[in-house]
Structure 1
Amino acid sequence: MSFSKERPFLLVGAGKMGGAMLSGWMAEGIDPAAIVVNDPHLSEEMDALLKKHGIRHVTTVPEDLTAGIVLVAVKPQMMDQVLPGLKSAVASDTLVLSVAAGTPISKFETFFGKVPICRCMPNTPAMVKRGITAVYPTPAVSAQAKDDVTRLLSSVGKVVWLDSEDQIDLVTGVSGSGPAYVFFLAEALSEAGRQAGLPEEISQELAIATVCGAGELMHQSGEHPSVLRKNVTSPNGTTAAALDVLMHADGLQPVMTEAVAAAVKRARELAG
Protein backbone atom coordinates (compact mmCIF):
# COMPACT_ATOMS: atom_id res chain seq x y z
CA MET A 1 0.00 0.00 0.00
CA SER A 2 1.10 3.58 -0.58
CA PHE A 3 0.96 4.66 3.06
CA SER A 4 3.06 3.88 6.11
CA LYS A 5 3.89 5.15 9.59
CA GLU A 6 6.14 7.75 7.98
CA ARG A 7 3.62 8.68 5.25
CA PRO A 8 0.35 7.81 6.97
CA PHE A 9 -3.17 7.34 5.73
CA LEU A 10 -4.93 10.54 6.82
CA LEU A 11 -8.68 10.15 7.34
CA VAL A 12 -10.33 13.56 7.43
CA GLY A 13 -13.76 13.18 8.98
CA ALA A 14 -14.79 10.13 11.00
CA GLY A 15 -18.54 10.53 10.76
CA LYS A 16 -20.98 7.95 9.41
CA MET A 17 -19.18 7.22 6.13
CA GLY A 18 -15.59 7.74 7.25
CA GLY A 19 -16.30 5.81 10.42
CA ALA A 20 -17.94 2.96 8.53
CA MET A 21 -14.91 2.60 6.26
CA LEU A 22 -12.48 2.82 9.18
CA SER A 23 -14.39 0.08 11.01
CA GLY A 24 -14.15 -2.11 7.93
CA TRP A 25 -10.40 -1.52 7.60
CA MET A 26 -9.83 -2.41 11.24
CA ALA A 27 -11.76 -5.64 10.74
CA GLU A 28 -9.53 -6.33 7.72
CA GLY A 29 -6.39 -5.92 9.82
CA ILE A 30 -4.87 -2.73 8.35
CA ASP A 31 -2.03 -1.44 10.56
CA PRO A 32 -3.57 1.20 12.87
CA ALA A 33 -0.13 2.76 13.41
CA ALA A 34 -0.20 3.91 9.76
CA ILE A 35 -3.53 5.77 10.19
CA VAL A 36 -4.17 9.28 11.49
CA VAL A 37 -7.73 10.53 12.03
CA ASN A 38 -8.44 14.25 11.77
CA ASP A 39 -11.82 15.14 13.25
CA PRO A 40 -12.53 17.80 15.91
CA HIS A 41 -15.89 16.31 16.85
CA LEU A 42 -15.61 12.55 17.37
CA SER A 43 -18.64 10.57 18.45
CA GLU A 44 -18.28 8.50 21.61
CA GLU A 45 -18.41 5.34 19.52
CA MET A 46 -15.65 6.50 17.18
CA ASP A 47 -13.52 7.76 20.06
CA ALA A 48 -13.78 4.29 21.62
CA LEU A 49 -12.79 2.64 18.30
CA LEU A 50 -9.69 4.83 17.96
CA LYS A 51 -8.63 4.15 21.53
CA LYS A 52 -9.25 0.42 21.14
CA HIS A 53 -6.88 0.21 18.17
CA GLY A 54 -4.42 2.89 19.26
CA ILE A 55 -5.13 5.08 16.22
CA ARG A 56 -3.69 8.58 16.38
CA HIS A 57 -6.30 11.33 16.57
CA VAL A 58 -5.71 15.01 15.79
CA THR A 59 -8.13 17.95 15.75
CA THR A 60 -5.92 19.87 13.30
CA VAL A 61 -3.37 18.44 10.87
CA PRO A 62 0.21 18.92 12.12
CA GLU A 63 2.39 20.93 9.73
CA ASP A 64 5.10 18.24 9.79
CA LEU A 65 2.70 15.48 8.64
CA THR A 66 3.01 14.42 4.99
CA ALA A 67 0.40 11.85 4.03
CA GLY A 68 0.70 8.96 1.61
CA ILE A 69 -3.07 8.96 1.16
CA VAL A 70 -5.65 11.52 2.26
CA LEU A 71 -9.29 10.44 2.44
CA VAL A 72 -11.65 13.41 2.72
CA ALA A 73 -14.93 12.30 4.27
CA VAL A 74 -16.59 15.52 5.42
CA LYS A 75 -19.82 17.17 4.34
CA PRO A 76 -19.60 19.08 1.05
CA GLN A 77 -20.62 22.29 2.83
CA MET A 78 -17.46 22.06 4.97
CA MET A 79 -14.93 21.79 2.14
CA ASP A 80 -13.90 25.46 2.02
CA GLN A 81 -13.29 25.32 5.76
CA VAL A 82 -11.45 21.98 5.81
CA LEU A 83 -9.31 21.85 2.66
CA PRO A 84 -6.99 24.80 3.45
CA GLY A 85 -5.86 22.98 6.60
CA LEU A 86 -4.81 19.94 4.56
CA LYS A 87 -2.48 21.66 2.10
CA SER A 88 0.65 21.03 4.16
CA ALA A 89 -0.12 17.30 4.32
CA VAL A 90 -0.51 16.90 0.54
CA ALA A 91 2.71 16.41 -1.45
CA SER A 92 2.92 16.10 -5.22
CA ASP A 93 2.68 12.30 -4.92
CA THR A 94 -0.01 12.18 -2.21
CA LEU A 95 -3.11 10.35 -3.38
CA VAL A 96 -6.25 12.29 -2.48
CA LEU A 97 -9.53 10.36 -2.19
CA SER A 98 -12.87 12.06 -1.70
CA VAL A 99 -16.13 10.45 -0.63
CA ALA A 100 -18.05 13.74 -0.48
CA ALA A 101 -21.17 13.83 -2.62
CA GLY A 102 -21.44 16.78 -4.96
CA THR A 103 -17.84 18.00 -4.59
CA PRO A 104 -16.08 18.03 -7.98
CA ILE A 105 -12.43 17.22 -8.54
CA SER A 106 -11.85 20.82 -9.57
CA LYS A 107 -12.48 21.89 -5.96
CA PHE A 108 -9.58 19.75 -4.74
CA GLU A 109 -7.31 20.87 -7.56
CA THR A 110 -7.92 24.47 -6.50
CA PHE A 111 -6.24 23.74 -3.17
CA PHE A 112 -3.79 20.92 -4.00
CA GLY A 113 -2.95 21.36 -7.68
CA LYS A 114 -2.77 18.49 -10.17
CA VAL A 115 -2.04 15.77 -7.62
CA PRO A 116 -3.53 12.28 -8.07
CA ILE A 117 -7.20 12.52 -7.07
CA CYS A 118 -10.00 9.95 -7.00
CA ARG A 119 -13.63 10.75 -6.39
CA CYS A 120 -15.20 7.80 -4.62
CA MET A 121 -18.78 7.01 -3.76
CA PRO A 122 -18.95 4.23 -1.15
CA ASN A 123 -21.91 3.21 0.96
CA THR A 124 -22.38 2.36 4.63
CA PRO A 125 -22.43 -1.46 4.28
CA ALA A 126 -18.65 -0.95 4.16
CA MET A 127 -18.92 -1.26 7.94
CA VAL A 128 -19.66 -4.98 7.54
CA LYS A 129 -17.41 -5.43 4.47
CA ARG A 130 -20.41 -5.55 2.14
CA GLY A 131 -20.11 -2.08 0.65
CA ILE A 132 -19.60 -1.08 -2.95
CA THR A 133 -17.51 1.91 -3.98
CA ALA A 134 -17.53 3.57 -7.40
CA VAL A 135 -14.33 5.47 -8.26
CA TYR A 136 -13.39 8.05 -10.86
CA PRO A 137 -9.63 8.84 -11.17
CA THR A 138 -7.94 11.88 -12.65
CA PRO A 139 -5.28 11.33 -15.35
CA ALA A 140 -2.59 11.86 -12.66
CA VAL A 141 -3.61 8.60 -10.93
CA SER A 142 -1.15 5.92 -12.02
CA ALA A 143 -1.96 2.29 -12.67
CA GLN A 144 -0.13 1.43 -9.44
CA ALA A 145 -2.18 3.97 -7.51
CA LYS A 146 -5.38 2.50 -8.97
CA ASP A 147 -4.28 -0.92 -7.79
CA ASP A 148 -3.63 0.56 -4.33
CA VAL A 149 -7.09 2.13 -4.25
CA THR A 150 -8.71 -1.11 -5.37
CA ARG A 151 -6.93 -3.07 -2.62
CA LEU A 152 -7.82 -0.48 0.00
CA LEU A 153 -11.48 -0.21 -0.91
CA SER A 154 -11.88 -3.94 -1.60
CA SER A 155 -11.22 -4.52 2.07
CA VAL A 156 -14.70 -3.11 2.75
CA GLY A 157 -16.58 -4.43 -0.31
CA LYS A 158 -16.67 -4.30 -4.09
CA VAL A 159 -15.06 -1.63 -6.28
CA VAL A 160 -16.15 -0.38 -9.70
CA TRP A 161 -14.26 2.17 -11.83
CA LEU A 162 -16.13 4.89 -13.72
CA ASP A 163 -15.43 6.40 -17.13
CA SER A 164 -16.48 9.96 -16.33
CA GLU A 165 -16.87 12.19 -13.30
CA ASP A 166 -20.50 12.89 -14.21
CA GLN A 167 -21.34 9.28 -13.37
CA ILE A 168 -20.54 9.89 -9.69
CA ASP A 169 -23.83 11.75 -9.15
CA LEU A 170 -25.73 8.86 -10.76
CA VAL A 171 -23.96 6.38 -8.49
CA THR A 172 -24.88 8.54 -5.51
CA GLY A 173 -28.56 8.14 -6.33
CA VAL A 174 -28.35 4.35 -6.69
CA SER A 175 -25.82 2.84 -4.28
CA GLY A 176 -24.62 5.85 -2.25
CA SER A 177 -28.09 6.62 -0.90
CA GLY A 178 -29.41 3.13 -1.70
CA PRO A 179 -28.96 1.50 1.73
CA ALA A 180 -31.50 3.96 3.14
CA TYR A 181 -34.00 2.81 0.51
CA VAL A 182 -33.51 -0.81 1.59
CA PHE A 183 -33.83 0.09 5.26
CA PHE A 184 -37.08 1.88 4.47
CA LEU A 185 -38.28 -1.17 2.57
CA ALA A 186 -37.76 -3.21 5.75
CA GLU A 187 -39.65 -0.56 7.73
CA ALA A 188 -42.52 -0.54 5.24
CA LEU A 189 -42.74 -4.34 5.10
CA SER A 190 -42.76 -4.50 8.89
CA GLU A 191 -45.51 -1.89 9.13
CA ALA A 192 -47.57 -3.68 6.48
CA GLY A 193 -47.36 -6.86 8.50
CA ARG A 194 -48.42 -5.02 11.64
CA GLN A 195 -51.40 -3.50 9.86
CA ALA A 196 -52.33 -6.94 8.56
CA GLY A 197 -52.56 -8.16 12.17
CA LEU A 198 -49.14 -9.44 13.24
CA PRO A 199 -47.64 -8.34 16.55
CA GLU A 200 -45.23 -5.48 15.90
CA GLU A 201 -42.10 -7.24 17.18
CA ILE A 202 -42.75 -10.40 15.16
CA SER A 203 -43.54 -8.43 12.01
CA GLN A 204 -40.32 -6.45 12.41
CA GLU A 205 -38.25 -9.59 12.92
CA LEU A 206 -39.81 -11.21 9.85
CA ALA A 207 -39.22 -8.13 7.68
CA ILE A 208 -35.58 -7.63 8.67
CA ALA A 209 -34.73 -11.32 8.27
CA THR A 210 -36.44 -11.41 4.89
CA VAL A 211 -34.58 -8.37 3.53
CA CYS A 212 -31.25 -9.65 4.85
CA GLY A 213 -31.85 -13.18 3.60
CA ALA A 214 -32.96 -12.06 0.15
CA GLY A 215 -29.87 -9.86 -0.14
CA GLU A 216 -27.58 -12.68 0.85
CA LEU A 217 -29.29 -15.00 -1.63
CA MET A 218 -28.67 -12.49 -4.44
CA HIS A 219 -25.07 -12.11 -3.31
CA GLN A 220 -24.31 -15.83 -3.20
CA SER A 221 -26.35 -17.02 -6.18
CA GLY A 222 -25.07 -14.53 -8.73
CA GLU A 223 -28.45 -14.69 -10.45
CA HIS A 224 -30.16 -11.59 -11.83
CA PRO A 225 -32.79 -10.26 -9.39
CA SER A 226 -35.53 -10.88 -11.95
CA VAL A 227 -34.61 -14.58 -12.09
CA LEU A 228 -34.75 -14.89 -8.31
CA ARG A 229 -38.08 -13.06 -8.25
CA LYS A 230 -39.57 -15.45 -10.81
CA ASN A 231 -38.21 -18.43 -8.88
CA VAL A 232 -40.39 -17.61 -5.88
CA THR A 233 -43.48 -16.54 -7.83
CA SER A 234 -45.99 -19.32 -8.48
CA PRO A 235 -48.68 -18.54 -11.09
CA ASN A 236 -51.81 -17.19 -9.40
CA GLY A 237 -50.17 -17.61 -5.98
CA THR A 238 -49.72 -15.26 -3.04
CA THR A 239 -46.47 -13.74 -4.30
CA ALA A 240 -48.00 -13.11 -7.71
CA ALA A 241 -50.92 -11.31 -6.04
CA ALA A 242 -48.50 -9.04 -4.17
CA LEU A 243 -46.36 -8.41 -7.25
CA ASP A 244 -49.44 -7.39 -9.22
CA VAL A 245 -49.56 -4.40 -6.86
CA LEU A 246 -45.83 -3.69 -6.68
CA MET A 247 -45.29 -4.05 -10.45
CA HIS A 248 -48.36 -2.06 -11.47
CA ALA A 249 -47.79 0.92 -13.76
CA ASP A 250 -47.98 3.22 -10.72
CA GLY A 251 -46.29 0.77 -8.36
CA LEU A 252 -42.75 0.55 -7.02
CA GLN A 253 -40.73 1.16 -10.23
CA PRO A 254 -41.90 4.72 -10.98
CA VAL A 255 -41.55 5.64 -7.30
CA MET A 256 -37.99 4.27 -7.18
CA THR A 257 -37.11 6.01 -10.44
CA GLU A 258 -38.37 9.31 -9.02
CA ALA A 259 -36.48 8.75 -5.76
CA VAL A 260 -33.16 8.09 -7.51
CA ALA A 261 -33.68 11.11 -9.76
CA ALA A 262 -34.29 13.28 -6.68
CA ALA A 263 -31.04 12.07 -5.09
CA VAL A 264 -29.10 12.73 -8.31
CA LYS A 265 -30.61 16.22 -8.58
CA ARG A 266 -29.58 17.02 -5.01
CA ALA A 267 -26.04 15.74 -5.61
CA ARG A 268 -25.73 18.09 -8.57
CA GLU A 269 -27.12 20.99 -6.52
CA LEU A 270 -24.46 20.37 -3.88
CA ALA A 271 -21.84 20.67 -6.60
CA GLY A 272 -23.13 24.17 -7.33
Structure 2
Amino acid sequence: MRAEFAGRPVGQQPSPLSGKRIAFIGCGVMAEAMAAALLRTGSVSVHQLTGGEPNARRRQELVARLGLETVPDNAAAASEADLVVLSVKPQTLDAAMRDLAGRLRAEQVVLSIVAGATIERLQSGLRHERVVRSMPNTPAQIGYGATVWCPAPVVTAEDERLVRTVLEAMGLAIRVDNEDFVDMATALSGTGPAYVFLIMEALIDAGVHLGFSRSVAEQLVQQTILGSVLFAQETGKHPAELRNMVTTPGGTSAAALYEMERGGLRTVIARAVWAAYRRAKELGAGKPNGGPSDL
Protein backbone atom coordinates (compact mmCIF):
# COMPACT_ATOMS: atom_id res chain seq x y z
CA MET A 1 0.00 0.00 0.00
CA ARG A 2 1.61 3.27 -1.13
CA ALA A 3 1.00 6.44 0.84
CA GLU A 4 1.03 9.56 -1.35
CA PHE A 5 2.51 12.68 0.23
CA ALA A 6 2.68 14.90 -2.86
CA GLY A 7 -0.02 15.92 -5.32
CA ARG A 8 -2.81 14.59 -3.12
CA PRO A 9 -6.26 15.34 -4.57
CA VAL A 10 -8.39 17.87 -2.73
CA GLY A 11 -10.45 16.17 -0.05
CA GLN A 12 -8.26 13.06 0.22
CA GLN A 13 -7.35 12.20 3.79
CA PRO A 14 -3.66 12.54 4.73
CA SER A 15 -1.75 9.38 5.58
CA PRO A 16 -1.88 8.38 9.26
CA LEU A 17 1.93 8.39 9.10
CA SER A 18 2.19 11.99 7.92
CA GLY A 19 4.44 13.83 10.36
CA LYS A 20 4.71 10.80 12.67
CA ARG A 21 7.96 9.44 14.08
CA ILE A 22 8.66 5.73 14.51
CA ALA A 23 11.30 4.21 16.79
CA PHE A 24 12.52 0.63 16.57
CA ILE A 25 13.72 -0.83 19.86
CA GLY A 26 16.05 -3.59 18.71
CA CYS A 27 17.17 -3.38 15.09
CA GLY A 28 17.37 -6.98 13.92
CA VAL A 29 16.12 -8.58 10.71
CA MET A 30 12.42 -7.82 11.21
CA ALA A 31 12.99 -4.23 12.29
CA GLU A 32 15.09 -3.68 9.18
CA ALA A 33 12.38 -5.33 7.07
CA MET A 34 9.73 -3.02 8.51
CA ALA A 35 11.85 0.08 8.02
CA ALA A 36 12.75 -0.95 4.47
CA ALA A 37 9.08 -1.60 3.63
CA LEU A 38 8.01 1.80 4.94
CA LEU A 39 10.73 3.53 2.95
CA ARG A 40 10.15 1.48 -0.21
CA THR A 41 6.43 2.27 -0.27
CA GLY A 42 7.02 5.96 0.39
CA SER A 43 5.00 5.74 3.61
CA VAL A 44 7.66 7.70 5.51
CA SER A 45 10.98 9.42 4.96
CA VAL A 46 14.09 8.13 6.65
CA HIS A 47 14.05 11.23 8.87
CA GLN A 48 10.87 9.94 10.51
CA LEU A 49 12.62 6.76 11.66
CA THR A 50 15.11 6.04 14.41
CA GLY A 51 16.36 2.95 16.17
CA GLY A 52 17.73 1.81 19.50
CA GLU A 53 20.52 -0.71 18.95
CA PRO A 54 23.41 -1.46 21.35
CA ASN A 55 25.60 -3.20 18.76
CA ALA A 56 27.87 -0.63 17.07
CA ARG A 57 28.50 -2.78 13.99
CA ARG A 58 24.78 -3.28 13.49
CA ARG A 59 24.22 0.48 13.75
CA GLN A 60 26.79 1.03 11.01
CA GLU A 61 25.08 -1.57 8.80
CA LEU A 62 21.73 0.17 9.11
CA VAL A 63 23.21 3.54 8.22
CA ALA A 64 24.89 2.01 5.17
CA ARG A 65 21.80 0.08 3.99
CA LEU A 66 18.93 2.44 4.83
CA GLY A 67 20.41 5.66 6.11
CA LEU A 68 18.63 4.84 9.37
CA GLU A 69 19.69 6.90 12.38
CA THR A 70 20.33 4.68 15.40
CA VAL A 71 21.46 5.26 18.96
CA PRO A 72 22.70 2.83 21.63
CA ASP A 73 20.16 3.99 24.23
CA ASN A 74 16.60 2.61 23.96
CA ALA A 75 14.98 5.34 26.02
CA ALA A 76 16.61 8.03 23.89
CA ALA A 77 15.46 6.32 20.70
CA ALA A 78 11.86 6.18 21.92
CA SER A 79 11.70 9.64 23.45
CA GLU A 80 10.39 11.53 20.39
CA ALA A 81 8.47 8.71 18.72
CA ASP A 82 4.72 8.51 18.17
CA LEU A 83 4.97 4.77 17.51
CA VAL A 84 7.49 2.63 19.39
CA VAL A 85 8.11 -0.73 17.70
CA LEU A 86 9.35 -3.29 20.21
CA SER A 87 11.46 -5.56 17.99
CA VAL A 88 13.94 -7.23 20.34
CA LYS A 89 14.49 -10.96 20.72
CA PRO A 90 12.23 -12.65 23.32
CA GLN A 91 15.29 -13.42 25.44
CA THR A 92 16.15 -9.71 25.79
CA LEU A 93 12.60 -8.40 26.18
CA ASP A 94 12.77 -7.89 29.95
CA ALA A 95 15.94 -5.80 29.67
CA ALA A 96 14.40 -3.65 26.93
CA MET A 97 11.23 -3.11 28.96
CA ARG A 98 13.31 -2.04 31.96
CA ASP A 99 14.95 0.59 29.74
CA LEU A 100 11.54 2.02 28.78
CA ALA A 101 9.47 1.43 31.93
CA GLY A 102 7.96 4.68 33.18
CA ARG A 103 9.58 6.69 30.38
CA LEU A 104 6.88 6.46 27.72
CA ARG A 105 4.32 9.22 27.34
CA ALA A 106 0.67 8.26 27.68
CA GLU A 107 -0.10 9.08 24.04
CA GLN A 108 2.72 6.94 22.61
CA VAL A 109 1.69 3.64 21.01
CA VAL A 110 3.83 0.53 21.44
CA LEU A 111 3.72 -2.06 18.65
CA SER A 112 5.30 -5.35 19.70
CA ILE A 113 6.55 -7.98 17.26
CA VAL A 114 8.10 -10.08 20.05
CA ALA A 115 7.07 -13.73 19.79
CA GLY A 116 4.91 -14.92 22.68
CA ALA A 117 4.90 -11.67 24.67
CA THR A 118 1.33 -11.07 25.84
CA ILE A 119 -0.32 -7.68 26.02
CA GLU A 120 -0.60 -8.02 29.80
CA ARG A 121 3.11 -8.78 30.16
CA LEU A 122 4.04 -5.86 27.92
CA GLN A 123 1.78 -3.42 29.76
CA SER A 124 3.15 -4.54 33.11
CA GLY A 125 6.80 -4.49 32.05
CA LEU A 126 6.56 -1.13 30.28
CA ARG A 127 4.13 0.45 32.77
CA HIS A 128 2.25 1.60 29.71
CA GLU A 129 -1.27 0.82 28.49
CA ARG A 130 -1.40 1.62 24.76
CA VAL A 131 0.06 -1.61 23.42
CA VAL A 132 -0.54 -3.53 20.18
CA ARG A 133 0.74 -7.05 19.79
CA SER A 134 1.60 -8.43 16.34
CA MET A 135 3.45 -11.17 14.50
CA PRO A 136 4.82 -10.46 11.00
CA ASN A 137 6.99 -12.80 8.92
CA THR A 138 10.15 -12.45 6.85
CA PRO A 139 8.54 -12.02 3.38
CA ALA A 140 7.63 -8.58 4.72
CA GLN A 141 11.10 -7.64 3.47
CA ILE A 142 9.76 -7.64 -0.11
CA GLY A 143 6.20 -6.50 0.59
CA TYR A 144 4.64 -9.98 0.68
CA GLY A 145 4.46 -10.43 4.43
CA ALA A 146 1.57 -11.73 6.51
CA THR A 147 0.90 -10.13 9.89
CA VAL A 148 -1.73 -10.81 12.53
CA TRP A 149 -2.22 -8.06 15.11
CA CYS A 150 -4.29 -7.43 18.23
CA PRO A 151 -4.71 -4.10 20.09
CA ALA A 152 -5.24 -3.62 23.80
CA PRO A 153 -8.74 -2.30 24.66
CA VAL A 154 -7.38 1.19 25.44
CA VAL A 155 -5.89 1.61 21.95
CA THR A 156 -7.88 4.23 20.04
CA ALA A 157 -9.23 4.08 16.50
CA GLU A 158 -6.61 6.65 15.47
CA ASP A 159 -3.88 4.49 17.00
CA GLU A 160 -5.19 1.51 15.06
CA ARG A 161 -5.07 3.42 11.77
CA LEU A 162 -1.44 4.25 12.47
CA VAL A 163 -0.56 0.64 13.24
CA ARG A 164 -2.52 -0.73 10.28
CA THR A 165 -0.74 1.61 7.88
CA VAL A 166 2.66 0.46 9.13
CA LEU A 167 1.78 -3.23 8.93
CA GLU A 168 0.11 -3.01 5.52
CA ALA A 169 3.31 -1.51 4.11
CA MET A 170 4.72 -5.03 4.56
CA GLY A 171 1.83 -6.91 2.93
CA LEU A 172 -1.28 -8.58 4.35
CA ALA A 173 -2.31 -7.41 7.85
CA ILE A 174 -5.18 -9.10 9.72
CA ARG A 175 -6.63 -7.59 12.90
CA VAL A 176 -7.97 -9.96 15.57
CA ASP A 177 -9.71 -9.37 18.89
CA ASN A 178 -8.32 -12.43 20.69
CA GLU A 179 -4.57 -12.28 21.14
CA ASP A 180 -4.31 -16.08 21.26
CA PHE A 181 -4.65 -15.84 17.48
CA VAL A 182 -1.31 -13.99 17.47
CA ASP A 183 0.34 -17.05 19.05
CA MET A 184 -1.39 -19.21 16.44
CA ALA A 185 -0.08 -16.93 13.70
CA THR A 186 3.41 -17.18 15.19
CA ALA A 187 3.24 -20.94 14.65
CA LEU A 188 1.56 -20.85 11.25
CA SER A 189 2.57 -17.76 9.26
CA GLY A 190 5.34 -16.31 11.42
CA THR A 191 7.33 -19.54 11.39
CA GLY A 192 5.75 -20.67 8.11
CA PRO A 193 8.53 -19.46 5.79
CA ALA A 194 10.93 -21.85 7.53
CA TYR A 195 8.63 -24.76 6.66
CA VAL A 196 8.46 -23.69 3.03
CA PHE A 197 12.23 -23.20 2.79
CA LEU A 198 12.83 -26.67 4.20
CA ILE A 199 10.47 -28.18 1.63
CA MET A 200 12.21 -26.19 -1.10
CA GLU A 201 15.59 -27.45 0.08
CA ALA A 202 14.38 -31.05 0.10
CA LEU A 203 12.94 -30.75 -3.43
CA ILE A 204 16.12 -29.14 -4.76
CA ASP A 205 18.24 -31.90 -3.21
CA ALA A 206 15.94 -34.50 -4.78
CA GLY A 207 16.36 -32.80 -8.15
CA VAL A 208 20.14 -32.88 -7.82
CA HIS A 209 19.91 -36.58 -6.87
CA LEU A 210 17.97 -37.17 -10.10
CA GLY A 211 20.74 -35.53 -12.12
CA PHE A 212 19.88 -31.83 -12.48
CA SER A 213 22.52 -29.21 -11.73
CA ARG A 214 21.77 -27.39 -8.47
CA SER A 215 21.15 -24.16 -10.39
CA VAL A 216 18.53 -25.74 -12.64
CA ALA A 217 16.92 -27.60 -9.72
CA GLU A 218 16.63 -24.34 -7.76
CA GLN A 219 15.00 -22.54 -10.69
CA LEU A 220 12.50 -25.33 -11.26
CA VAL A 221 11.54 -25.61 -7.59
CA GLN A 222 11.23 -21.86 -7.03
CA GLN A 223 9.05 -21.37 -10.11
CA THR A 224 6.93 -24.42 -9.28
CA ILE A 225 6.17 -23.18 -5.77
CA LEU A 226 5.58 -19.60 -6.92
CA GLY A 227 3.33 -20.70 -9.77
CA SER A 228 1.37 -23.07 -7.53
CA VAL A 229 0.65 -20.32 -4.99
CA LEU A 230 -0.39 -17.83 -7.67
CA PHE A 231 -2.56 -20.47 -9.36
CA ALA A 232 -4.27 -21.25 -6.04
CA GLN A 233 -4.95 -17.56 -5.45
CA GLU A 234 -6.21 -17.04 -8.99
CA THR A 235 -8.61 -20.00 -9.00
CA GLY A 236 -9.78 -19.76 -5.39
CA LYS A 237 -10.08 -23.54 -5.34
CA HIS A 238 -9.44 -25.70 -2.26
CA PRO A 239 -5.91 -27.20 -2.21
CA ALA A 240 -7.39 -30.71 -2.26
CA GLU A 241 -9.25 -29.88 -5.47
CA LEU A 242 -6.11 -28.46 -7.04
CA ARG A 243 -4.15 -31.54 -6.01
CA ASN A 244 -6.74 -33.80 -7.57
CA MET A 245 -6.49 -31.83 -10.82
CA VAL A 246 -2.88 -32.95 -11.26
CA THR A 247 -3.23 -36.47 -9.89
CA THR A 248 -3.98 -39.06 -12.56
CA PRO A 249 -4.88 -42.54 -11.25
CA GLY A 250 -1.79 -44.72 -11.52
CA GLY A 251 0.32 -41.74 -12.60
CA THR A 252 3.47 -40.08 -11.32
CA SER A 253 1.68 -37.68 -8.93
CA ALA A 254 -0.30 -40.53 -7.41
CA ALA A 255 2.91 -42.51 -6.82
CA ALA A 256 4.65 -39.53 -5.23
CA LEU A 257 1.70 -38.57 -3.03
CA TYR A 258 1.34 -42.16 -1.82
CA GLU A 259 4.91 -42.04 -0.49
CA MET A 260 4.30 -38.67 1.18
CA GLU A 261 1.16 -39.94 2.91
CA ARG A 262 2.88 -43.18 3.93
CA GLY A 263 5.72 -41.14 5.40
CA GLY A 264 3.29 -39.13 7.52
CA LEU A 265 3.94 -35.73 5.92
CA ARG A 266 0.64 -34.24 7.14
CA THR A 267 1.26 -35.46 10.68
CA VAL A 268 4.81 -34.13 10.76
CA ILE A 269 3.66 -30.69 9.57
CA ALA A 270 0.81 -30.60 12.10
CA ARG A 271 3.16 -31.58 14.93
CA ALA A 272 5.66 -28.94 13.84
CA VAL A 273 3.03 -26.20 13.94
CA TRP A 274 1.82 -27.31 17.37
CA ALA A 275 5.43 -27.37 18.63
CA ALA A 276 5.91 -23.80 17.41
CA TYR A 277 2.64 -22.74 19.06
CA ARG A 278 3.65 -24.24 22.40
CA ARG A 279 7.07 -22.61 22.13
CA ALA A 280 5.42 -19.23 21.55
CA LYS A 281 3.44 -19.77 24.75
CA GLU A 282 6.63 -20.67 26.64
CA LEU A 283 8.36 -17.53 25.43
CA GLY A 284 5.33 -15.51 26.48
CA ALA A 285 5.58 -17.01 29.95
CA GLY A 286 9.21 -15.90 30.17
CA LYS A 287 10.78 -19.35 29.60
CA PRO A 288 13.67 -18.59 27.20
CA ASN A 289 15.02 -22.15 27.38
CA GLY A 290 11.67 -23.85 26.91
CA GLY A 291 10.17 -26.69 28.90
CA PRO A 292 9.68 -30.43 28.55
CA SER A 293 8.03 -31.48 25.30
CA ASP A 294 5.04 -33.81 25.18
CA LEU A 295 5.43 -34.53 21.48
Question: TM-score, with normalisation over the residues of structure 2?
Answer: 0.82
**Which residue number corresponds to residue 92 of structure 1?**
106
SS of the residue aligned with 1:57? Answer: strand
SS of the residue aligned with 1:134? Answer: strand
Of the candidates 46, 49, 62, which is equivalent to residue 76 of structure 2? 62
Count residues in correspondence. 269
**Which residue number corresponds to residue 21 of structure 1?**
34
User: Any gaps of 5 or more consecutive residues in structure 2?
Assistant: 1-14, 286-295
For the pair 1:142 / 2:156, whether they are aligned, the reply is: yes
Q: CA deviation at 1:235?
A: 3.2
**Which residue number corresponds to residue 218 of structure 1?**
232
Which moves more between the two structures, 181-190 or 59-68?
59-68
Cα distance in 2, alignment partners of residues 63 and 131 from structure 1: 26
Whichever residue aligns with residue 260 of structure 1, its letter is V
Taking a change above 3 Å as real, the CA distance of residues 53 and 187 of structure 1, as seen in their structure-2 partners, is closer
Which moves more between the two structures, 148-157 or 171-180?
148-157
Taking a change above 3 Å as real, the CA distance of residues 87 and 126 of structure 1, as seen in their structure-2 partners, is same
Q: CA deviation at 1:240?
A: 2.2
1:6-43, CA deviations, whole angstroms, 9 ceiling, x for partnerless residues?
x6201111212212222222211122111111112266
Cα distance in 1, alignment partners of residues 248 and 177 from structure 2: 41
Of the candidates 130, 134, 149, which is equivalent to residue 144 of structure 2? 130
2:25 and 2:78 in contact (8 A); partners too: no
Taking a change above 3 Å as real, the CA distance of residues 143 and 102 of structure 1, as seen in their structure-2 partners, is same
**Which residue number corresponds to residue 260 of structure 2?**
246
Question: TM-score, with normalisation over the residues of structure 1?
Answer: 0.89
Cα distance in 1, alignment partners of residues 108 and 229 from structure 2: 37
- The alignment yields a C-alpha RMSD, in angstroms, of 2.3
SS of the residue aligned with 1:240? Answer: helix
Which moves more between the two structures, 185-194 or 113-122?
113-122
1:101-149, CA deviations, whole angstroms, 9 ceiling, x for partnerless residues?
1211122212333521111000000001000100111101122222222
Whichever residue aligns with residue 112 of structure 1, its letter is L
SS of the residue aligned with 1:247? Answer: helix
Which moves more between the two structures, 107-116 or 218-227?
218-227
SS of the residue aligned with 1:71? Answer: strand
User: Any gaps of 5 or more consecutive residues in structure 1?
Assistant: none
Give the % identical residues: 33
